[in-house]
Amino acid sequence: MIEKLDEIKSNAIDELSSLQSIKELEDWRVRYLGKKSALTQILRGLASRPLEERKAVGASANELKSLLERSHRQKKEALKEKAYQEMEAAAVGKQIISPTGIPSEEKFGIPTVFLGIPDVTLPGRPIPLGRLHPTTQMVREICDIFVALGFQVVEGPEVEWDYYNFEALNIPPDHPARDMWATLWIDTKSGERPMLLRTHTSPMQIRVMERTTPPVRVVVPGKVYRYEATDATHESMFYQIEGLAVDKNITLADLKGTLYEFARRLFGAERKVRFRCDYFPFVEPGVEMAIDCMVCGGTGCRLCSGTGWIEILGAGMVHPAVLRRVNYDPEIYTGFAFGLGLERMSMLRYGVEDIRLFYSNDLRFLRQF
C-alpha cells in the first residue's frame, strides 16, 4: 500500500510540472484528488483495514493528500500568473495610449487584458458626420460675397400676398407679364385677398423698402415655387437670391460694377460679363447678365449651347412706379435690383446636369459636396 502511495506521488508530481493550462490542471486535480482517484479510494478503503495498517497507511495517505492539494494551489497561482504575462505580452504593441498618455490599465486600475479589451480608451466607432446641402453651401457663399460688398441678408415669407408678388411690382391682375411666372395659388374664399406661393424673391424688394428709409442694400435668399412640369432645368421649387440697392445717385454703372465683381468672385477673376436688354415690369431699364463660358472660354460648347455665353441673372434699375408705391421719391432715390437662380449657379460651378438631383435626396449625389 505504501508503495502504491509512492507511485501516486511521483506520477502526480511529475505530471504536475509539465501542465501548461488551468484546464489541464483541473483534469489533473480530478485524476489525483477527485472522488474516483486512487488516493480517495485508498482513504475510503482504510475503514475496513486492520488498525496497524490503518495507522501507517492513513498517515501517509493524508500527508500525500495535503501535499497534492498544496501543490495544486501553487501550480494554479503559477499558471494564472503565466497567462496574465502572456496576455500582457500579446497586448504590447496593440495597446493604444489614451489621449492623456496614461494607458487605460493604469487609469482604471483594472488589467484590461482580463476584460478582453486591449484598451477601453480606444477611439469609439466613428459616427457618420452630416454635411451642408450643396444649396445651403451656395446660399452661404453667394451671401458672403454680397456681405463683403456691403449688403445685409434678410429673408421673407414663402406664402405671399398677390400684392407683393405681382401688384406692387408693377404687374396688375391682367398684365401679360404674369404669364412669365406660372403660379401656385393658395385657396382663399371669394372676397379674400389672393394668396400664393411666391414665384420669385422680388416681393421682398417691396417688403424691405416699406419698412426702411434709404440707403438700402440687401440680398434675400429663399425658396420660390412655380406651377411647372419638371425637367433637367426646371423644378417646381427652387432657390433664388434677390438683391436690392437703393440710395441717392445709384446708376446702371453701380449695377454693372457690383454684378461684375460678384461674377468674378464666384466664377473666377478672368470672367467676362455681358449685359443685354431684357424685360421685367418692375425695372427700367431691365437687363440680363451673362458670363463667358468657363468651359470653352467663349468659343462655344455644349454647356453654353454653342454661344460662348451663359445667362446667369436678371436685373435692372428699380422702376420709378415701384419706388413711388413705397413712398420713395424717384427724383431723389434710384436703385438697382437683381435676381438669380441659385441651383443654376451650382450646376454651372459643379457641372451638374439635372436640377432635380438637388432635391431627390440621393446620398450618392449629396455626398459629393
Active site residues: 181, 200, 226, 240, 283, 337
Nearest to 325 by CA among 226, 225, 240, 246: 246
User: What is the nearest approach in angstroms of ligand PHE to the Cβ of residue 289?
Assistant: 10
User: What is the nearest approach in angstroms of ligand PHE to the Cβ of residue 169?
Assistant: 8
Q: What are phi and psi of 60, to 5 degrees?
A: -65, -45
SS3 241: strand
User: What is the nearest approach in angstroms of ligand PHE to the Cβ of residue 171?
Assistant: 10
* Closer CB to ligand PHE, 118 or 316, in the complex: 316
For the four alpha carbons of 92, 94, 100 and 101, in that order, the dihedral sign comes to positive
**Closest residue to bound ligand PHE by CB:** 339
Give the footprint of ligand PHE on this chain (CB under 6 A).
200, 202, 280, 283, 314-316, 337-339
* Closer CB to ligand PHE, 204 or 266, in the complex: 204
User: What is the nearest approach in angstroms of ligand PHE to the Cβ of residue 348?
Assistant: 17
C-alpha 253/C-alpha 273 separation (Å) is: 13
Read off the C-alpha cell for 248: 441717392
* Closer CB to ligand PHE, 216 or 283, in the complex: 283
Q: Does residue 196 contact residue 165 with C-beta atoms inside 8 Å?
A: yes
Residues 6+ apart with CB under 8 A from 173: 162, 166, 167
SS3 349: helix
* Closer CB to ligand PHE, 12 or 219, in the complex: 219
Nearest to 309 by CA among 318, 297, 319, 320: 297
